[in-house]
Amino acid sequence: MINKKHYISLFFIIALILGGCANSEQVDDHNNSLNNGEEKEIDSSNDAENLADQPFPVTIKQDDKEITIKEEPENILPLSLEVAEIVLELVDPSRIPATTKGIDDPYLSTHTDISDEIPNRISAATNIDPEEIISYDTDLLLITKMYGEQENAAKTLSQLDTPILSFDTMVTVDQFMESMTLIGEAIGEKEKAENIVAEMKTEIASIQEVIPENESPSVLILSEVGGDMGPFMMGPTNISYDLTQLAGATPAVDSIELDRSTPAAIEQILKMNPDYILLVDFFGQGEKGFEELMNDPGWNTLEAVKEERIEMIEAKYILNPNVENIEGLKMMTDWLYGLEDSR
């Protein structure tokens, strides 16, 4: 197993972009000019059509402010893994001069196969250096508002003469798809983004078609989140909660009215006594990250443990917002309902 020591904050992470296309009006069919005393007709319809085809400038309204992107961004700087995942679905990595270190982690990122084409890595969003940002000659910044520090970072960056789009944490698949559409419009890839979203919706519907009716097993999702904090019980502040519901299951944390992801405690897990337990592999250490919980005498009394209903899944499929969440949803439903042979 791979043991990573670098710290990646618990994220989840993101709010919206609202874009629009430049509108062009048809000019008059005729202009008057003197040419041998005769009126000359000028056809400007082609010019009007060409202008209408141009998606820029785009004006986006966020937090009572209007952000205008004058030209198609060539140097896009995503300051969080969530937005980096979206941008890499839409454009060539050559348009990204730098991004977060998480993009290189095979347990977190879905784009490690092309991450080495992005030459630079930026500091965490909680410790942003404006001079570093300036050095990349960026024409669009994308940031996720996950913590107060990151909001402060956005204020610091607002001093730069660079368009900044900030997103609330994406805690549902719908929010991720909305962000995909809006980022696509902001960077000149609206149609491509819409096609990806349409495909995601089709795949979700296909997965849900074969979920048995009148079944709603309780599922507890446990995950490491970075550093030495130990495993967390994932709540409504993480996209895994939404994926559990899309799978026709009930998040076990609802039984203890958990309103956000929080450090796991065996006493709370015993109260929930979930039907299934899904362990999220964040560092590539497998069950090692959950040893303290699993070595507690109470662990073996859990229904999920006695019935051997415990599964391991990599974080990128269920913990981080990205297009592979659909694959994570399929994995979850196959496991919960034994559907592997029916697809």
Cβ neighbours, 10 Å, residue 174 = 13
Same domain, 112 and 182: yes
Residue 328 lies in a domain: yes
Q: CA-to-CA distance for 261 and 238, rounded, in angstroms?
A: 7
* Single residue among 204, 231, 262 that ends a domain in this structure: 204
Same domain, 132 and 256: no
Query: Can you give the pTM of this predicted structure?
Result: 0.81
Same domain, 259 and 124: no
Alpha helices in 3-53 (DSSP H): 45-52
Same domain, 91 and 147: yes
Q: CA-to-CA distance for 219 and 277, rounded, in angstroms?
A: 6
Same domain, 160 and 304: no
**283's tokens:** 């560092």
Q: CA-to-CA distance for 56 and 73, rounded, in angstroms?
A: 10
Q: pLDDT at position 230, please?
A: 84
- Output the tens digit of pLDDT for each of the chain's 343 residues: 334 333 333 333 333 323 333 333 333 333 333 344 443 343 434 444 444 456 789 887 777 788 889 999 999 999 899 999 999 999 999 999 999 999 999 999 999 999 999 999 987 655 677 778 888 989 999 988 765 555 666 666 777 788 988 888 999 999 999 999 999 999 999 999 999 999 999 999 999 999 999 899 999 999 988 667 789 999 999 999 999 999 999 999 999 999 999 999 999 999 999 999 999 999 898 999 999 999 999 999 999 999 999 999 999 999 999 999 999 999 999 999 998 765 5
Residue 38 lies in a domain: no
Give φ, ψ of 231 to 5 degrees: -70, 150
Same domain, 199 and 217: no
Same domain, 291 and 186: no
Q: Assign residue 252 the CATH number of its domain.
A: 3.40.50.1980
Residue 175 lies in a domain: yes
If we measure between CA atoms, which residue out of 322, 272, 258 comes closest to residue 11? 322
**96's tokens:** 């990204």
Same domain, 198 and 225: no
Residue 29 lies in a domain: no
As for how many domains the chain has, the answer is: 2
Residue 123 lies in a domain: yes
Residue 17 lies in a domain: no
Sequence-distant (≥ 6) Cβ neighbours of residue 280 within 8 angstroms: 221, 222, 223, 224, 234, 240, 312, 313, 314, 315, 318, 319
**320's tokens:** 């981080």
The boundaries of the domain holding residue 320 are 212-342
* Single residue among 139, 169, 204 that ends a domain in this structure: 204
Same domain, 223 and 158: no
Give φ, ψ of 170 to 5 degrees: -85, 105
Instruction: Indicate the helix (H) or strand (E) that contains 202.
Output: helix 190-209
Same domain, 163 and 223: no
* Single residue among 155, 172, 204 that ends a domain in this structure: 204
Residue 7 lies in a domain: no
**176's tokens:** 């991720």
- Residue 142, classed as helix, strand or coil, is strand
Residue 31 lies in a domain: no
Same domain, 74 and 199: yes
Same domain, 216 and 155: no
Q: CA-to-CA distance for 208 and 301, rounded, in angstroms?
A: 32
